[in-house]
Amino acid sequence: EVQLVESGGGLVQPGGSLRLSCSASAFSISNYAMDWVRQAPGKGLEFVAAITENRGSTYYADSVRGRFTISTDNSRNTLYLQMSSLRPDDTALYYCVQDMRNWGQGTLVTVSS
């Protein structure tokens, strides 16, 4: 059974940085496109970033482009999201998603002073 476990969330001050990780099991992330999707408290789903299966392309929502970077470590079967210049409106539950199909349980990021 596909399993995605996110980690790395927490409380960070505005302007700070954080790196989220997503450990995958029961499949090889090198064979799939991988995505990050977030959900602010009480709000809907918002695409954040994606990386293609051949790792040739990355895509970002306008709201995070230039501040967030998506990457993978195939040897660790892990997806990452490096977040910098964080703002209060980045506060959300961040989900790791396999090819827009299977979802992790999410990791909470809170940006506040």
Partner 1 sequence: QSVVTQPPSVSGTPGQRVTISCFGSSSNIGKNALNWYQQLPGAAPKLVMYRNDQRPLGVPDRFSGSKSGASASLAISGLQSEDEADYYCAVWDDSLDFVVFGGGTKLTVL
- Judged by CB under 8 A, the stretch of 19-27, 72-80, 81-89, 99-107 that binds partner 1 is 99-107
Phi first, then psi: give them for residue 29, nearest 5 degrees.
-65, -20
Residues 28-87 that bind partner 1 (CB under 8 A): 35, 37, 44-47, 50, 59-62
User: Residue 23 interacts with partner 1 (CB under 8 A)?
Assistant: no
Length of the chain: 113
Residue with tokens 């980690």: 7
Specify burial of residue 66 (Cβ count, 10 A radius: 0-12, 13-18, 19+): exposed
* Residue 1 and residue 71 in contact, taking contact as beta carbons nearer than 8 Å: no
In whole angstroms, the minimum distance from the beta carbon of 49 to partner 1 comes to 8
Closer to partner 1 by CB, 7 or 45: give it: 45
* Residue 79 and residue 34 in contact, taking contact as beta carbons nearer than 8 Å: yes
User: Residue 102 interacts with partner 1 (CB under 8 A)?
Assistant: yes
In whole angstroms, the minimum distance from the beta carbon of 43 to partner 1 comes to 9
In whole angstroms, the minimum distance from the beta carbon of 58 to partner 1 comes to 10
User: Residue 100 interacts with partner 1 (CB under 8 A)?
Assistant: yes
User: Could you tell me whether strands 10-12 and 107-111 are parallel, antiparallel, or unpaired per DSSP bridges?
Assistant: parallel
**Which residues would be at the binding site for partner 1 (CB under 8 A)?**
35, 37, 44-47, 50, 59-62, 95, 100-106
